[in-house]
């Protein structure tokens, strides 16, 4: 996942720094960083495009040398989304590692229909306006999910 800054600044992590930042954020959230959770995060963080729980289960199974059920991976991914370690691309039912797990905000995803690449941009003013409009309509616990589909510059 590539990220483009836009009105929101944060530290992007990759490689071992990402794993360390994710583990720290997870433990700070009161969760245990188990070997299975670490393995799921490693496979997730290695993906170039949003990946399904089934794809991740295959990767974790290969890394562990034994079958890991997709349901196990789904539960861990749900926990990762709740604790800000991963983002769910709703339209694809797929997941991406959050490259800045210590920073909470709503992302806008730009998804290429050709290659599947997902770029996230941060625009707190835009997602805040969507959240405010939803609250003004009586919605509570608002979590904007903004996905824009099209063709990226490399595929265009």
pLDDT, averaged in runs of 10, over the chain (156 residues): 47 79 92 96 94 96 96 96 91 88 79 89 88 94 87 92
pTM, to two decimals? 0.81
The CATH code of domain 11-97 reads: 1.10.10.10
Is 97:89 a contact under the CB 8 Å cutoff?
Answer: no
Q: What pLDDT does residue 11 have?
A: 61
Distances (CA, A) of 68 to 3, 65, 72, 139: 30, 9, 7, 38
Q: What pLDDT does residue 106 have?
A: 78
- Each domain of the chain, given as residue ranges in start order, spans 11-97
Is 108:143 a contact under the CB 8 Å cutoff?
Answer: no
Q: What pLDDT does residue 13 have?
A: 66
């Amino acid at each position: 996942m590539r990220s483009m800054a836009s009105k929101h600044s944060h530290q992007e992590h990759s490689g071992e720094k990402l794993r360390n930042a994710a583990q720290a954020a997870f433990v700070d959230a009161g969760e245990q960083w188990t070997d299975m959770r670490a393995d799921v995060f490693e496979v997730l963080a290695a993906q170039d495009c949003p990946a399904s729980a089934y794809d991740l289960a295959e990767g974790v199974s290969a890394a562990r040398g034994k079958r890991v059920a997709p349901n196990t991976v789904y539960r861990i991914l749900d926990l990762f989304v709740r604790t800000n370690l991963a983002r769910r691309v709703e339209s694809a039912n797929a997941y991406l590692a959050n490259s800045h797990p210590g920073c909470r905000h709503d992302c806008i995803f730009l998804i290429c229909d050709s290659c599947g690449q997902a770029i996230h941009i941060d625009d707190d003013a835009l997602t805040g306006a969507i959240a405010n409009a939803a609250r003004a309509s009586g919605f509570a616990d608002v979590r904007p999910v903004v996905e824009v589909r099209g063709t990226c510059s490399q595929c265009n």
